[in-house]
């Protein structure tokens, strides 16, 4: 269904962005439809920054922000196309619904661009955007306009306009969430956590990993959330030691653990949750030892996450704790960094519209400090791939989503049981 009028928050964000550099022109492209195979497309998902600045959710759009005004380029209405793909906003309606000063056909984008960038001292545009299939061709077209602008400025001009990455400016805005965003994420986290708790109860040996993913998605969809926020991982046994295992096509065996990393999106804001539990009724002694160590780190990070500390501090505390845990488990650690073999990823990341969300970790060589309204995952793990220990084939990750508050943090995924005795009582 088409929207009648989007919230003014989106316009306010564009204004805020332009205020960060009033001499600049910002250029953003929305996402395109991607072909899966002949005549069939992947479901369309808008580019996160484009959504953040517009709430416009059709493919092939562009946005130019300059001189305090927003210029939105959209697909024109087209009756023949709409029979296949549904009604579009079109040019006139887009202007009203999305609160922009100007709207145009996307076909006129490269014709209009020279006049829009004319007075700007610099351009913010993401070159070489790895999320796009057509980034090189697109870059070439944009740069041709930007560099053409230089020759049109005449001999007094001092060279081509600089083209800079808008990511730092955008990250500065996106990393701190407003109350509406927090409510959206809160629901994504609550539904996803309850979906995981449901799976903890219904899993049985002999089920396929993919069945668990389907059950999770069914629960999420019944609770109003349609899409995954990222490709889910359901990894039985040693599959859990492959960090991005997404094949999800093996049978679950009694005696193994299963690691599930999955979260749902709510209006494009995602949860990011991992749980690990036994396929049978109980953890084995070794599984329980590893699980307890990871849970202790997870719980300690929840205590430490608060305004004024940096992500790097949290990661370094987690690494120290993991190292101590590995030593107490008798794992050989010849070098200072040997723990990385068993804990090869970060203890977390920002969370929001993207599962690995926009945000600054370091600025001018200094750590960026957490502030209220930021969201961070808390995901320590231990993975034993090699045969040098008796823990071979065990992979455990425990991942929660933390909202930084005035005094500390709130665990938005706390509805998922984490203690060994709680999990085991769910496995009966
Ligand atoms: N689900 C991706 C991650 O945990 O970072
Ligand atoms: Mn994560
Ligand atoms: Mn995850």
Together in a domain, 405 and 370: yes
Active site residue 415: no
Residue 2 lies in a domain: no
Residue 384 falls inside a structural domain: yes
Side by side, the strands of the sheet bearing 69-74 are 102-105, 69-74, 62-66, 24-29, 122-124, 163-164
- Predicted pLDDT of residue 157: 62
pLDDT at 130: 87
242 lies in the same domain as 119: no
Mutate which of 230, 235, 246, 344 for ligand 1 pocket (most atoms within 8 A of beta carbon): 230
Residues 297 and 402 in one domain: yes
- Reported as a single tens digit per residue, the pLDDT across 138-174 is 999 999 999 987 655 555 566 789 999 999 999 999 9
Crossing angle for the helix pair 8-20 and 167-174, to the nearest 10 degrees = 130
- Cβ neighbours for 124, distance < 8 A, ≥ 6 positions apart: 21, 24, 25, 26, 27, 163, 164, 165, 166, 169
How remote is the CA of residue 196 from the centroid of ligand 1, in Å? 15
In a domain, 408, yes or no: yes
User: 242 C-alpha vs ligand 1 centroid, how far in Å?
Assistant: 13
| Positions of E strands within 228-304 | 233-236, 257-262, 265-266, 269-270, 273-278
The first and second tokens of residue 291, run together, are 């699980």
Residues sharing a CB contact under 8 Å with residue 151, sequence separation 6 or more, in sequence order: 157
pLDDT (mean) for 334-351 = 97
pLDDT bucket at 371, cuts 50 / 70 / 90: very high
Helix axes 135-152, 109-117, angle to 10 degrees: 40
Number of neighbours of residue 156 by Cβ within 10 angstroms: 5
Does 72 share its domain with 152? yes
Do 299 and 166 sit in the same domain of this protein? no
The verdict on residue 276 lying in a domain is yes
Q: Which pLDDT value is given to residue 153?
A: 55
Look up 291 and say whether it is catalytic. no
Q: What is the mean pLDDT of residues 378-397?
A: 97
Residue 377 CA, closest ligand 1 atom number: 4
Question: Which residue among 173, 192, 220 closes a domain?
Answer: 173
- Span 380-384, mean pLDDT? 98
Considering the domain architecture, whether residues 87 and 219 belong to the same structural domain is answered as no
Instruction: Give the model confidence (pLDDT) of 191-205 as tens digits.
Output: 999 999 999 999 999
What percent of the chain has pLDDT above 90? 94
In a domain, 363, yes or no: yes
Model confidence at 133, pLDDT cuts 50, 70, 90, reads confident
Does any domain span residue 1? no
Residue 349 bears catalytic tag = yes
Q: Flag the least confident range among 65-69, 148-152, 185-189, 232-236.
A: 148-152
pLDDT of residue 152: 54
202 and 153, same domain (yes or no): no
Report the range of poorest mean pLDDT among 31-35, 67-71, 73-77. 31-35
Pocket of ligand 1 from Cβ distances under 6 Å: 230, 261, 272, 349, 355, 379, 399
245 Cα: distance to centroid of ligand 1 (angstroms): 11
Catalytic entry in 55, 57, 272, 401: 272
Among 157, 173, 189, the domain-final residue is 173
The reply to whether 156 and 182 lie within a common domain is no
Is there a single domain that holds both residue 293 and residue 179?
A: yes
Query: How much distance in Å is there from the Cα of 185 to the middle of ligand 2?
Result: 14
Q: Quick check: is 261 catalytic? A: yes
For residues 319 and 340, membership in a common domain is answered with: yes
- Residue 183's closest CA among 274, 266, 302? 266
Query: How do strand 375-378 and strand 400-404 relate by DSSP bridges?
Result: antiparallel
pLDDT-based confidence at residue 428 (cuts at 50, 70, 90): confident
Q: Average the pLDDT over 406-418 and give the result.
A: 98
**pLDDT at res. 132:** 84
Predicted TM-score (pTM) of the model is 0.96
- Domain of 413, CATH number, reads 3.90.230.10
Q: What is the pLDDT of residue 151?
A: 58
Q: 24 exposed, middle or buried (CB, 10 Å; 0-12, 13-18, 19+)?
A: buried
pLDDT of residue 200: 98
Cα first-last separation, the chain: 44
Give the structural domain span for 125.
8-173
Contact 262, 228 (CB under 8 A): yes
Query: Which residue lies with its CA nearest to atom 4 of ligand 1?
Result: 272
- Domain C-terminal end among 138, 173, 208: 173
Task: Flag whether 3 is in a domain.
Answer: no
Q: Which ligand is nearest to the CA of 274?
A: 3
Q: Is the pLDDT of residue 70 over 90?
A: yes
65 in a structural domain? yes
Mean pLDDT score of the chain: 96
Same domain, 62 and 211: no
Q: What is the SS3 assignment for 262? A: strand
Counting the structural domains of the chain, the total is: 2
The pLDDT value given to residue 143: 96
Strands 409-411 and 400-404: antiparallel
- Residues of the chain with pLDDT > 70, as a percent, come to 98
Contact 366, 261 (CB under 8 A): no
Q: Residues 393, 253: one domain?
A: yes
What is the CATH classification number for the domain harbouring 62?
3.40.350.10
Catalytic residue among 261, 265, 354, 401: 261
Residue 256, pLDDT above cutoff 60: yes
């Amino acid at each position: 269904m088409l929207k009648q009028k989007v919230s003014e928050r989106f316009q306010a964000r564009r204004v805020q962005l332009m205020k960060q550099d009033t001499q600049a022109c910002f250029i953003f492209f929305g996402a395109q439809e991607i072909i899966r195979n002949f005549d069939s497309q992947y479901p369309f998902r808008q580019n996160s920054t484009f959504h953040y600045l517009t709430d416009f959710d059709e493919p092939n759009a562009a946005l130019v922000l300059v001189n305090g005004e927003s210029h939105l380029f959209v697909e024109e209405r087209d009756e023949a196309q709409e029979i296949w793909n549904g009604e579009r906003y079109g040019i006139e309606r887009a202007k009203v619904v999305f609160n922009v000063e100007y709207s145009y056909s996307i076909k006129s984008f490269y014709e209009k661009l020279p006049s829009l960038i004319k007075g700007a001292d610099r351009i913010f545009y993401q070159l070489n955007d790895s999320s796009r299939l057509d980034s090189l061709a697109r870059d070439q077209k944009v740069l041709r306009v930007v560099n053409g602008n230089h020759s049109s400025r005449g001999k007094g001009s001092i060279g081509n306009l600089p083209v800079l990455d808008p990511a730092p400016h955008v990250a500065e805005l996106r990393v701190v969430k407003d109350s509406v965003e927090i409510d959206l994420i809160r629901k994504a986290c609550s539904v996803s956590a309850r979906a995981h708790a449901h799976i903890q109860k219904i899993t049985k040996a002999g089920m396929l990993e993919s069945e668990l993913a389907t059950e999770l998605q069914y629960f999420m969809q019944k609770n109003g959330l349609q899409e995954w926020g990222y490709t889910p991982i359901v990894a039985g046994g040693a599959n859990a030691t492959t960090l991005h295992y997404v094949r999800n096509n093996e049978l679950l065996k009694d005696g193994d653990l299963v690691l599930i990393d999955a979260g749902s999106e709510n209006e494009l804001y995602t949860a990011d949750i991992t749980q690990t539990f036994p396929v049978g009724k109980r953890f084995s002694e070794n599984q329980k030892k590893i699980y307890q160590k990871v849970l202790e780190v997870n719980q300690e990070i929840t205590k430490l996450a608060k305004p004024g500390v940096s992500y790097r501090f949290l990661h370094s505390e987690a690494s120290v704790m993991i190292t101590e845990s590995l030593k107490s488990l008798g794992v050989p650690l010849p070098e200072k960094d040997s723990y990385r073999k068993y804990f090869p990823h970060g203890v977390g990341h920002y969370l929001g519209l993207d599962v690995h969300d926009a945000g600054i970790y370091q600025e001018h060589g200094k750590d960026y400090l957490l502030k209220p309204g930021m969201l961070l995952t808390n995901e320590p793990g231990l993975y034993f791939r090699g045969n040098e220990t008796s823990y071979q084939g065990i992979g455990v990750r425990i991942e929660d989503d933390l909202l930084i508050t005035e005094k500390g943090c709130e665990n938005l995924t706390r509805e998922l049981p984490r203690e060994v005795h709680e999990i085991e009582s769910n496995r009966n």
